[in-house]
């Protein structure tokens, strides 16, 4: 019984945090203006992050989602944009579900920092049900063709390969890989321009199938990564709010001495810490625990609710200046907003939880 990370896991976290604090930050983020920052990518590759989940046989570190989760949290805290998260996560499903040829080809390119991957899953017509996938995969000789549109694909415009969810002729959804060069990619006008979300139009693009299980795995790990990023965002927003509340004075007192602010901050910490527990646990359960599905739904629901509460409260505590572009509050809030609604929001995941817990009882009564 040990719900804590190992020394090695913390060391990795510290090196990511150290790199980001030295070479990244809100000033650099603003300077990048939503454009791909090759130095950031190279720096993260220099830490070996892109190979975290690549098996050692393919030149990777062969680690698990539990090892990666603290890095995702740091990505959230520092609002790291771009293709690193998806590259890490897609590499895992390629290793697990790809053919020998695909693995040999892509995994070594990833390990070498040459390949950048993006997961194209969200669709505009899905409403609030992320399982409403309408991109169609049709068989074409030995391969597949993809047709349809995805939205908010992170950094698809600088990715080399896209992992695309698509509906197959049997009505089920599977994961497909295609070359990013074959798709028409444009930036979405997202609430979070720094997140580099792209609209991806696929007009009979040739693709390789990784299958249904690969999609399920990638959706689950992406959901955990989104949860961890939201925890990082919430943590940063809480820190920003507490620091501002200590320094801003009104009525001749720091506003942090007013109970209304104090109690709001206490609730922010509570929400962040409890959701953090759920995100960490889900990353552990990803290694094969039968409760993984439930853990994922709980993590996403809790971290989505926490991130919303904390970001909203952070802006409120800042007052007028929090509503200005010059302060950094909105950067956190906007990234959080995209993540909150990605892969299903808290309400959607609560229904998932209900579906998983209620049948058990029905059997027993």
What residues make contact with its own copies under the rule CB under 8 A? 258-260, 263
Q: Which is nearer to other proteins, 110 or 241 (CB)?
A: 241
Residues numbered 282-301 forming contacts with other proteins, rule: CB under 8 A: 284, 289, 298, 301
Collapse the DSSP code of 19 into the 3-class scheme (helix H, G, I; strand E, B; otherwise coil) and give the result: helix
Residues 301-320 binding other proteins (CB under 8 A) are 301-302, 308, 312, 315-316, 319-320
Is 32 a binding residue for other proteins by CB under 8 A? The answer is: no
Residues 6 or more apart whose Cβ sits within 8 Å of residue 310: 233, 234, 237, 238, 241, 268, 271, 272
Beta carbon nearer to other proteins, 139 or 249: 249
Tokens 């390990």 — which residue?
111
Partner from its own copies, other proteins, none contacting 99, C-beta within 5 to 8 A by type: none
- With CB under 8 A as the contact rule, the residue among 57, 124, 172, 203 that binds other proteins is 124
Q: Any contact of residue 224 with other proteins (CB under 8 A)?
A: no
Q: Does 34 engage in binding with other proteins (CB under 8 A)?
A: no
169: which strand partners? Answer: none
Burial class of residue 313, CB neighbours in 10 A (0-12, 13-18, 19+) = buried
Half-sphere exposure of 30 (CA within 13 A, CB side): 11
DSSP state of 62: -
Q: Which is nearer to other proteins, 5 or 72 (CB)?
A: 5
Closest CA to 186 of 153, 160, 214, 222: 153
In the complex, least distance from residue 251 CB atom to its own copies, rounded to whole angstroms? 11
Q: Give the x-and-dash track for 343-362 against other proteins (CB under 8 A).
A: --x-x--xxxxx--xx--xx
CB of 265 to its own copies, least distance (A): 13
* Residue 184 interacts with other proteins (CB under 8 A): yes or no: no
209 binds other proteins (CB under 8 A): no
Shortest distance, position 195 Cβ to other proteins, whole Å: 9
Query: In what helix (H) or strand (E) does residue 72 lie, and over which residues does it extend?
Result: helix 65-77
| Distance of closest approach, residue 261 Cβ to its own copies, in angstroms | 9
**Does 246 contact other proteins by CB under 8 A?**
yes
Binding-site member from 7, 259, 288, 290 for other proteins (CB under 8 A): 259
Q: Is 270 in the site for other proteins (CB under 8 A)?
A: yes
Q: Does 152 bind other proteins (CB under 8 A)?
A: yes
Count CB neighbours of 13 within 10 A. Answer: 17
Q: For CA atoms 59, 63, 65, 71, give the dihedral sign.
A: negative
Q: Using only C-alpha atoms, what is the Rg of the chain?
A: 20
Q: How far apart are CA 286 and CA 290, in angstroms?
A: 9
Please report whether residue 10 would count as binding other proteins according to CB under 8 A: no
Q: Which of 25, 216, 269, 293 touches other proteins (CB under 8 A)?
A: 269
Burial zone of 249 (CB within 10 Å; 0-12 exposed, 13-18 middle, 19+ buried): exposed
Region binding other proteins by CB under 8 A among candidate stretches 43-51, 83-91, 149-157, 221-229: 149-157
Q: Could you tell me the two tokens for 182? A: 């074959």
Q: How far apart are CA 305 and CA 35, in angstroms?
A: 29
């Amino acid at each position: 019984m040990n719900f804590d990370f190992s020394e090695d896991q913390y060391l990795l976290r510290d090196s990511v945090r150290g790199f980001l604090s030295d070479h990244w930050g809100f000033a650099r983020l603003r300077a990048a203006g939503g454009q791909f920052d090759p130095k950031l990518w190279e720096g993260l590759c220099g830490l070996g992050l892109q190979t975290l989940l690549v098996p050692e046989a393919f030149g990777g570190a062969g680690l698990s989602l539990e090892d990666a989760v603290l890095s995702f949290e740091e990505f959230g805290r520092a609002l790291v944009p771009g293709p690193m998260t998806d590259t890490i996560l897609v590499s895992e499903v390629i290793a697990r579900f790809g053919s020998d040829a695909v693995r040999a080809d892509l995994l070594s390119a990833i390990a070498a920092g040459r390949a950048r991957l993006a997961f194209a899953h969200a669709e505009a017509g899905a409403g609030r049900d992320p399982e409403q996938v309408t991109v169609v995969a049709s068989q074409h000789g030995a391969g597949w063709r993809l047709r349809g549109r995805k939205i908010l694909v992170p950094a698809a415009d600088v990715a080399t390969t896209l992992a695309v969810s698509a509906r197959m002729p049997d009505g089920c959804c599977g994961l497909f890989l295609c070359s990013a060069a074959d798709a028409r990619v444009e930036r979405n006008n997202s609430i979070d321009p720094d997140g580099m979300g792209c609209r991806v139009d696929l007009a009979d693009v040739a693709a390789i199938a990784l299958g249904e299980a690969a999609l399920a795995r990638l959706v689950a790990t992406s959901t955990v990564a989104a949860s961890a990023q939201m925890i990082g965002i919430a943590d940063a927003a809480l820190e920003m709010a507490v620091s501002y509340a200590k320094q801003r004075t009104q009525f001749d007192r720091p506003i942090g001495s007013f109970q209304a602010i104090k109690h709001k901050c206490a609730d922010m910490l509570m929400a962040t810490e409890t959701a953090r527990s759920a995100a960490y646990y889900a990353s552990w359960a990803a290694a094969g625990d039968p409760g993984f599905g439930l853990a994922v739904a709980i993590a996403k629901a809790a971290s989505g609710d926490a991130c919303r509460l904390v970001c909203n409260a952070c802006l409120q505590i800042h007052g007028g200046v929090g509503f200005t572009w010059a302060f950094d509050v909105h950067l956190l809030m906007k990234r959080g907003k995209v993540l909150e609604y990605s892969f299903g929001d808290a309400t959607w995941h609560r229904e998932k939880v209900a579906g998983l817990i209620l049948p058990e009882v029905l059997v027993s009564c």
